[in-house]
Structure 1
Amino acid sequence: MMILCSVFFLLVLIFNTAHALSYLALWQFRNMIICNMPTSWPILSYEDYGCYCGLGGSGTPVDDLDRCCQVHDLCYGEALKLKSCRWLIDNPYTESYAYDCDKKAKKVTCKTKNGVCEMFICECDRKAAECFARSQYNKQYKRLPEVRCKQR
């Protein structure tokens, strides 16, 4: 019984830690977007935009901004294939990394002190944030009906 309680406690601890880290990883990505676009509201704007921004993704991107999200999703998929990115510990959705924001230049730099996995994920986020800054936001693609994104 004592072993069962210990295992349960450990699983709860791991889940809670991963959950907290996921917020940190999302917050870092959010801050990178704000570095490139200081007046933006990334979580409100890009969540559930087009076919790829937000959770999941399928079909053909509806515009350049949606394509940024598709490329970001694919980049995270490539990160998961790296040997240095262990599934539970160094997951792109939970991993934190080191970066700098030059607010004047509106430029993000991933720090060299990052490990291989952290650097790869940081670069995925940095490139996506820059892509967002270059792309036009089209309100008609917010909360797009799922049927528009089905593979054909």
Structure 2
Amino acid sequence: MPLTPLDIHNKEFTRGFRGYDEDEVNEFLDQVIKDYEAVLREKKELFEQVTDLDDKLAHFKNIEETLNKSILVAQEAAEEVRTNAQKEAQLIVKEAEKNADRIINDALSKSRKVMIEMEELKKQASVYKMRFKMLIEAQLEMLQTDDWNEVIEEEEVYEER
């Protein structure tokens, strides 16, 4: 157990024949007590300072840990946002591709319908042309037959009467 200033102050020395000068020893002990008290005070102050600095260090370590956690959370959030943005972009692209395919398929379907209608109209026009031609040929043939001449002759005969 370390000495206290009181232990030093209360220390009694045995006296021998022609021992030390008592006043000189007492002055020296007083000086030792004074210095020892100063050292103890300084030690106490330094201990309090170390304790205070340890508390501050623990506080700053806590802040550092919190900041590191915050940075990790922010990085994770940024990564999640980036991942979600990529997924959303992919969905938008897929939807656009589907819409483009649908539009192309609709256009192709309409084009086919128009082509079919056009072919049908060509056939109808061809049939109409052929019927009209047959009708004209039949009428022409009728005009060129002798029956027509007979009708004219009969008419002339009828008129003469």
TM-score bin, normalised by smaller chain? under 0.3
Higher helix share: 2
Q: Which of the two has greater strand per residue?
A: 1
Q: TM-score, normalised by structure 1?
A: 0.25
Normalised to the residue count of structure 2, the TM-score between the two structures is 0.23
Looking at both structures, which has the greater relative contact order when contacts are Cα pairs under 8 Å and sequence separation is at least 6?
Answer: 1
